[in-house]
Structure 1
Amino acid sequence: MTSRRKHFAERRAVRGYSQEEFAEALSVAASTVVRWENGRATPRPHQRARMARLLGVTLPELEVLLSEEQPDGTAGISATPPLLHGDDDDMKRREVLGLLAVTGALVALPDSGEAARGRAASTLLETGDALHRSLWQVYTLSDSKQAVLPAVRAQLDVMAKGLTETCTAADRSRLCRMTAGLYQLVGELFFDANRYIDAAQCYTLAANAASAGGDHDLWACAMTRHAYVELYARRAHAAQPLLAAAARIARQGDGALSTRHWVAAVQAQVYAAVGDLDACKRALDEAERVRALAGAHSHNGGWLRFDGSRLAEERGACYLQLGRPDLAEEALLSALAQPLSLRRRAAVLSDLAVLGAHRRDIDQVVHYAEQALGLADRSNSGFIGKKLDGLRGRLAPLMSDGRVSTLDHRIAALPRTA
């Protein structure tokens, strides 16, 4: 074997695994293990905690095994996780950002006033709404959110072609609204990868396109998503004016939709971040009024998905941030008893683990954090890794317990981008 990672391969053999068995235990191809051992590839961070357990080593010891000198020509291989799936992830990201710039410019151009409709625009107007709803559905149901990226990128290209063609003013407004909805989906993909600047750019473009299309609810949702980026980046003061504007815009929208209630739900999180319990409760109560709306007709399942089903977990997270574990636990356990997406379940589990850390209850910390880590391994979501960072910051007083120390290492190994 020409590998300079011979100790890595030897350790695998000492533990009784063939290359095929080791690959099966890690849910990868045997050829991947071969590339790891000959130095032509490097395991990604989300794979390393499981790998360390299989090899019976600590994460720092695994890093030593993986850092042995590699063959000539491979020294530049990086262990940094990709932004988006695929070996050419940076190029894909640049392509998407380029398409955003092109379509954004086309949205901003004045209407030509001509009434002809081109072929691309006709196709979009006939099938675009249904396709975009399906893309949102795939995004919502996928454990790995980046699975929808190729289809979204292709649709951005179609939108660019459609926007270059002349059409009636009404058709152009509808194309702008479609573009705004698609921009918000792209923003969600970047947000899941913890690419906050890229996500914020998407939401800004979405707000402009929604305004051009004359849709106040779509516009308010783009502003709310932009505010959430600031909130999640721990910049609550920057989120407040965005939400204030979103609330004003939403009041001019369709009163049968849940937009204004979603704005209130995010405002509650901002109030929690700045320590205003009373204002937080008022905003949560306003958000709860969504339940009085007429069921599925109050949201579209795409760029507007707020139906109140998330309120228990959001209430629990707010109370936890406000230092009220007595109020938080009931809400979080109630949320956990509901059907949740993988990301949402991981967020609730992370908050329950934080609650355990607040109480110095190591068993509770380990019980919930282990489950959240399992979901992180399944999804490769940067969102979950970032969420668990909030727990990691509270583990210091408990680090004398070996289980907590192991948790800390495993969380550190999670990807922060997807």
Structure 2
Amino acid sequence: MERNQLATVREVIVKRTRLAQRRRTLGFSQERLAEQLGVDRTTVIRWERGETEPQPWQRPNLATALAVSLGELNTLLTTRSPDSPRQVVVPLAMPLAGTSDAPDDLAAMQSFRMADRQVGGGHLYATVTGYLQHTVAPRLFGINMSADNDGLFAAAAGLTEMAGWMAHDAGRDDAAEQHFHRALGLSSAGKDAQLGAHVLASLSHLSHYRRQPEQAVHFAQRGRQSLATGQPHPGVQSRLFAMEARGHAVLRQPEECTKQLLLAERTLDGKPGETSSPWVSHFDHAALAAEEARCFRDLGQLDSAKRYAEQVVALRPADRPRSRAFAQLMLVSVLIAQGKIDEACIVAREALDATRSVSSFLVLQQLGKMGGALSGHRRNPEVAVFLGLLQEELAHRRSLQWVSSSQPSTDGLAEL
């Protein structure tokens, strides 16, 4: 075989191995992946053999199923020129090949998390729950049970908590609550107190969303109590203080709210314990600033709310469109309350443009509420133009079924 021919064959083999490995890591058989994509199994086989390429219109769905970005998918599918040096680039979200066929749950979760931050939970919820059902559950409860039961229970808890967030982002709050409570039990079985406290913070957040501040404070305090005797985790502890502060803000208790926020700030920069749970998502200064913006908005301290919302926008990069959009929409609400309508329209359009590919009921809901808040200023030419664009874009996103059918319309634009 000629040298160039050999190089070509080797490239095809690498591509087939990486693509197939990615599928197996997420718990998909070729049949299941084909069924999810609406293609024949032979189509998936030809992709993995390097015989054919997915069509352009198939790639977004394939990237979503594999929990990678389109750029990462293109890396998997690209065959290098035989004349160029052979180099295979594996994205950070991709687990490297190991010596065992056992799924790498942590690598899978990191990939899910990265994709979720980019495209939203609506695209990924079914994929994550499918991974739990077909890849994790058989090892927990089947005949091939893992020897590391504590680690596997913790992995199941972390992935289940993530599924809860994706359900929440898709507008399925009853399912989110079930996932969170299930994750709490699994974290206890896995002896991961840090993860359990993290899940309690998630339950607190969900209670806030449902306008149950007393329940939110209860979950936050319960989470801090569970961490009191174990290894400290500054991120989890800071998040719990912030969740409690939000409850005090809604209950119009500014002194207690401010006290909890100061504790959150001090704790976030504290020294972590010797061990930290790998299943806990990162809580950083941008995340804390987002909670502070919510608190000060609820307290009616608009200048402080504006300052913290602007801080989040500055800290969050463009590849975190959903998180950035929440801060932008918070900023819009504050600017409207301050009577800065033209400035609010500029920020609103930035948020609308940045979230076109994000499948998030929560983003869609907040965009609609923003439209409702702006509708009282429709005599402003900039507002009138923007509301027309917003109404068209929301209708388009609903046509893609990005909103949970179980949720009522809350777009604020029904009268436009």
- The TM-score with structure 1 as length reference comes to 0.63
Residue 214 of structure 1: aligned partner: 191
C-alpha change, 1:401 and 1:298, in structure 2 (3 Å) is farther
Residue 417 of structure 1: aligned partner: 403
Q: Distance in 1 between matches of 2:316 and 2:136?
A: 35
Residue 369 of structure 1: aligned partner: 348
1:356–1:362 CA contact under 8 A, matched in 2: yes
C-alpha change, 1:132 and 1:377, in structure 2 (3 Å) is closer
1:216–1:252 CA contact under 8 A, matched in 2: no
Within a 5 Å distance, the mapping from 1:289-300 to structure 2 comes to: 289-294=266-271
2:129 aligned with 1:145 = no
Give the secondary-structure state (helix, strand or coil) at the position aligned to 2:128: helix
C-alpha change, 1:277 and 1:325, in structure 2 (3 Å) is same
Which residue of 157, 160, 167 corresponds with 1:190?
167
Within a 5 Å distance, the mapping from 1:8-87 to structure 2 comes to: none
**Partner deviation per Cα, 1:121-158 (whole Å, 9 max, x = no partner):** x965x733333333333333x22434444542342112
C-alpha change, 1:149 and 1:330, in structure 2 (3 Å) is closer
2:324 aligned with 1:345 = yes
- TM-superposed deviation, 1:230: 1.7
Greater displacement, 314-323 / 219-228: 314-323
Greater displacement, 406-415 / 277-286: 406-415
**Partner deviation per Cα, 1:301-320 (whole Å, 9 max, x = no partner):** 75331133322232223212
2:332–2:348 CA contact under 8 A, matched in 1: yes
Which residue of 132, 140, 143 corresponds with 2:109?
132
C-alpha change, 1:278 and 1:167, in structure 2 (3 Å) is farther
C-alpha change, 1:343 and 1:259, in structure 2 (3 Å) is same
Aligned amino acid, residue 417 of structure 1: V
1:136–1:301 CA contact under 8 A, matched in 2: no
Q: Distance in 2 between matches of 1:206 and 1:272?
A: 28
Q: Which has the higher contact order (CA 8 A, sep 6+)?
A: 1
Q: Distance in 2 between matches of 1:378 and 1:139?
A: 11
2:352 aligned with 1:379 = no
Residue 234 of structure 1: aligned partner: 211
Residue 276 of structure 1: aligned partner: 253
Which residue of 274, 284, 307 corresponds with 1:307?
284
Residue 373 of structure 2: aligned partner: 394
Q: Distance in 1 between matches of 2:162 and 2:360?
A: 16
C-alpha change, 1:303 and 1:263, in structure 2 (3 Å) is same
- TM-superposed deviation, 1:207: 0.4
1:224–1:242 CA contact under 8 A, matched in 2: yes
2:231–2:274 CA contact under 8 A, matched in 1: no
Greater displacement, 397-406 / 158-167: 397-406
Q: Distance in 2 between matches of 1:303 and 1:123?
A: 25
- TM-superposed deviation, 1:180: 0.5
C-alpha change, 1:297 and 1:403, in structure 2 (3 Å) is farther
Give the secondary-structure state (helix, strand or coil) at the position aligned to 2:164: helix
2:242 aligned with 1:265 = yes
Aligned Cα root-mean-square deviation (Å): 3.0
Aligned amino acid, residue 336 of structure 1: V
Give the secondary-structure state (helix, strand or coil) at the position aligned to 1:258: helix
- TM-superposed deviation, 1:396: 5.0
Aligned amino acid, residue 333 of structure 1: E
Q: Distance in 2 between matches of 1:217 and 1:253?
A: 8
Q: Distance in 2 between matches of 1:185 and 1:331?
A: 26
Q: Distance in 1 between matches of 2:115 and 2:374?
A: 36
- TM-superposed deviation, 1:299: 6.2
Which residue of 147, 169, 177 corresponds with 1:200?
177
- The TM-score with structure 2 as length reference comes to 0.63
Residue 160 of structure 1: aligned partner: 137
C-alpha change, 1:417 and 1:273, in structure 2 (3 Å) is farther
1:299–1:307 CA contact under 8 A, matched in 2: no
Aligned amino acid, residue 253 of structure 2: D
Share of identical aligned residues, percent? 22
1:299–1:306 CA contact under 8 A, matched in 2: no
